[in-house]
Amino acid sequence: MRPQPGKIGLAATKPMATQRDLALAYSPGVAAPVRAIAADPDSVYDYTSKGNMVAVVSNGTAILGLGNLGAAASKPVMEGKAVLFKRFADLDAFDVEVEYTDPDRFIECVQGFGNSFGGINLEDIKAPECFEIETRLRELLDIPVFHDDQHGTAIIAAAGLINACHLTGRKFEDLKVVLCGAGAAGLSVIELIKSMGVKDENTTVVDIDGVVYRGREGDHGRLASHAIETDKRTLLEAAEGADCLLGLSAAGAFTPEIVSRLAPNPIIFAMANPTPEITPEEVAKVRDDAIMATGRSDYPNQVNNVLGFPYIFRGALDVRARTINEEMKIAAAQALAALAREDVPDEVAEAYGGDRLQYGRDYIIPTPFDPRLIHYIPPNVAEAAVKTGVARKSIEDFEAYRRELERRSNPSASIQQRITASIRKTQKRIVFAEGEEPSVIRAAYAFQNQGLGQAVLIAREDIARANMRAVGLPDDALEICNARLSEHNAEYADFLYEKLQRRGFLRRDVQRRVNNDRNIFSACMLKMGHADGMVTGVTRHSNVVMKDVTLVLEPAEGSRAVGIAAAIGQDRTLLFGDVSISEFPDAEGLAEIAIATAQAAKRLRITPHLAFLSYSSFGNPPGERTEKIQEAVRILDRLDVDFEYEGEMAADIALSPDHHDLYPFSRLTRPANVLVMPAIHSASIALRLLKSAGGATVIGPMLVGLEKPVQIARLGASVTDIVNLAGIAAYDLNTVEA
């Protein structure tokens, strides 16, 4: 059977498994919200999905750069737009293709269905009709109406312009701007940057007939409003001494001569698609001081509307805004500009072939795959809506709102946020053992700069400082500790020799390890109380790291080292143990793993309901491999632990809310959320299946059970992973708060 055509479908948000579900979904239960909405129309946001729904509407009169091909031909583009709304902002968007090209009939049609949605995104409607359509629909409808071809481009271009001015030392009020292309997008860009401070007299608009000057005949009202007193009549003349050249016209519109006439350090945004007015290569032949942006993804600084519309609607709908005003657009542009100046996470580099992006002339606009967009842009848009009085609903705590948005795109955010909130109060001292690695340096700086704790690099000073400079940090950004030169070197060697002298180690062996092995030295720092936790593993396999660390550190009293992992889905979080240390634990080992994993769950504010997993459930089918699991349960019985546990159980039984129907004697009062695996290989298989086929987000392995907090990253871990593990080390999963 062929796959379903198209890009979108419909998924229910509530189950339809029982007669009661059907009654609530339709009749008779649905009558209650019907009456409530009739009495209070605004309550439709409380009882229906309107507040998360956007209609993407077009008549197909200006599809991409292809022209007027009709409403039906626009459907693939509108479906694609709907997919982007869902992917980037978790908004449900529905494409609506309207056959009317007459503005009056189009407006009447959209007015008829518009209030069924939380917002209207107009798309691919030709100018100048699009201006009238948007203006009148904004007046007629009590929801946001946003023509993305106009305002989306304007917002992204304005964000890039903010940073281009920042890099070249310019101010908006002094900026001399020339716009080539007086269509919907071009005029919207000019109008937005004027509202941000660019002066009318410093702005020249050029269309196909030349400079738009005061008194020129035939210009429609919106275009005429941008006419200026000037004797210049051509783009070449207008470009003389201009600071900024904006293009939303056609390929080849900017010639080398035009570029040569611009002021020093010119800002050139050549945004025509698919071929820009001039390419960066062509500009480079004329001058090397230009900052360039295009609409192309294969050049730096792409002006891409997907950076705007999903997040603008997200913020607008979350406060039930009646419109999207200038202040909301400016807030979005300013937030985008600020984000581009932040350090870029590894996920972005991976999405772009490993290139390390850094704020500067070739990176003034964030990239669409930056995971921070969802919690950077909407809060600023929402706050602007509240301040300007167009919001029906206020947000009392914008920091909590940011955390909620982060959880929408990253299911693991709730756990990470809990850890972050706790460790900011304690300010633990965390050792980054591989302190010469650029990724570790960036992670240590991010950890410290975010106020998560104090970072210490174990490294040779000259190499660490050289690498700091290479990643854009000052020499004194982080504390560096050289193991060989440390004032504690002899103390650590004495301690370790006493510990290992009867295990075949000579004094010189121990001294060499303290001097040269950063994991040994870092573990000694923890043991002797000179640091609170450590993170390592980026350059060595975890088993090698574990051998080094356990030469210094012992298991915590009554515990053992255990690797746990969290698999976080949309509706549940599961903790797994052991996933990295004990290959085939015996019964006693399984019991210890259960205790350590349950304790970690409590530390993460998860009430443990623990199941020992197996291929069998309660003795059926029988087998010798299940006997050790049964014995592990009996060990816990004797220990009288303070958490629910049961087993041995098959995975589907453990996770089923109805398993009491078959096994009424089960001690679990709810489906298991802590799973003790019989061996590492089964844990690995289960986690990879959940991640790849089930779409779960996996955190870990997280190491628990040592006397001091140590976290071992995977080989080649990303900066984000290292920071998260440093946070877990500072949080200390071994300690359960009262």
pLDDT for 13 equals 65
Q: Using H for helix, E for strand and C for coil, what is the string for 304-359?
A: CHHHCHHHHHHHHHHCCECCCCHHHHHHHHHHHHHHHCCCCCHHHHHHCCCCCCCC
Closest to 393 measured CA to CA, from 322, 312, 318, 319: 319
pLDDT category, 738, cuts 50, 70, 90?
A: very low
pLDDT of 248 = 92
Q: Give the per-residue pLDDT at 174.
A: 94
Q: Which amino acid is at 455?
A: A
Maximum C-alpha span of the chain: 99
Phi, psi of 303 (to 5 degrees): -85, 95
pLDDT band at 485 (very low <50, low <70, confident <90, very high): very high
Active site residue 615: no
Continuous segment of H or E residues that includes residue 467: helix 461-470
- The answer, yes or no, to whether residue 615 has pLDDT greater than 80, is yes
b (16+ CB within 10 A) / e for 170-194: bebeebbbbbbbbbbbbbbbbbbbb
For residue 292, what are the CA distances in angstroms to 126, 186, 349, 683?
27, 17, 21, 50
pLDDT for 254: 95
Pairing of strands 573-577, 609-613: unpaired
User: Is 100 a residue of the active site?
Assistant: no
d(CA 163, CA 348): 19
Q: Determine whether 275 is exposed, middle or buried from the number of CB atoms within 10 Å of its CB (0-12, 13-18, 19+).
A: middle
- Predicted confidence (pLDDT) per residue in 353-374, tens digit: 556 678 899 999 998 878 889 9
Catalytic residue among 26, 171, 199, 547: 26
Do the Cβ atoms of 470 and 445 come closer than 8 Å?
no
CB 639 within 8 A of CB 629: no
Which of 130-139, 410-419, 461-470, 675-684 has the weakest average pLDDT? 410-419
Instruction: Please state the φ and ψ torsions of residue 155, each to the nearest 5 degrees.
Output: -65, -45
Which of 150-164, 328-342, 577-591 has the least mean pLDDT?
Answer: 577-591
SS3 573: strand
Neighbours of 564 (CB within 10 A): 29
Higher pLDDT, 622 or 645: 645
The DSSP H or E segment spanning 382 is helix 373-387
Kindly report the number of other CB atoms within 10 A of residue 135's CB atom.
14
Cα 259 to Cα 252: distance, rounded to the nearest angstrom: 12
Rg of the chain taking only CA atoms, in angstroms: 31
589 within 8 A of 559, measured Cβ to Cβ:
no
How does the average pLDDT of the chain come out, rounded? 89
Mean pLDDT of 314-335: 95
Query: Does the pLDDT of residue 484 top 80, yes or no?
Result: yes
If phi over 0 gives left and psi between -120 and 50 gives alpha, with beta otherwise, what is residue 427?
left
| pLDDT reported for residue 695 | 76
Per-residue pLDDT reduced to its tens digit, 259-289: 999 999 999 999 988 889 999 999 999 999 9
User: Given the DSSP bridges, would you call strands 609-613 and 644-649 parallel, antiparallel or unpaired?
Assistant: parallel
pTM of the complete model beyond 0.75: no
* Residue 568 contacts residue 696 (beta carbons within 8 Å): yes
Pairwise CA distance, residues 421 & 590, whole Å = 32
Look up residue 237 and give its two tokens: 């003349």
pLDDT in tens, 25-55: 666 667 888 888 899 888 898 888 899 999 9
Handedness of CA 305, 58, 380, 248 (dihedral sign): positive
> Counting beta carbons within 10 angstroms of the beta carbon of residue 547, is it exposed (0 to 12), middle (13 to 18) or buried (19 or more)?
exposed
Contacts with 287 (C-beta within 8 Å, 6 or more apart), sequence order: 259, 260, 266
Closest CA to 116 of 136, 148, 92: 92
Strands 429-432 and 533-536, bridge-based pairing: parallel
The pLDDT of residue 1? 39
**Active-site annotation holder among 14, 47, 81, 387:** 81
How far is Cα 179 from Cα 15, in angstroms, rounded to an integer? 53
Cα separation of 671 and 653, whole Å? 9
Check if the beta carbon of residue 593 is closer than 8 Å to that of residue 562: yes
Please, are residues 417 and 394 in contact by the beta-carbon 8 Å criterion? no
Q: How far apart, in Å, are the Cα atoms of 308 and each of 81, 291, 348?
A: 12, 21, 17
> For residues 664 and 670, what is the distance between their CA atoms, to the nearest angstrom?
12
Tokens standing for residue 724: 């998260």
DSSP codes of every residue in 188-252: HHHHHHHHTT--GGGEEEEETTEE-BTT-TT--HHHHTT-B--S--SHHHHTTT-SEEEE-S-TT
Three-state DSSP class for 84? helix
Helix 148-168 / helix 309-318 crossing angle, nearest 10 deg: 110
Write b or e for each residue in 445-459: b if 16 or more Cβ atoms lie within 10 A of its Cβ, otherwise e.
bbbbeeebbbbbbbb
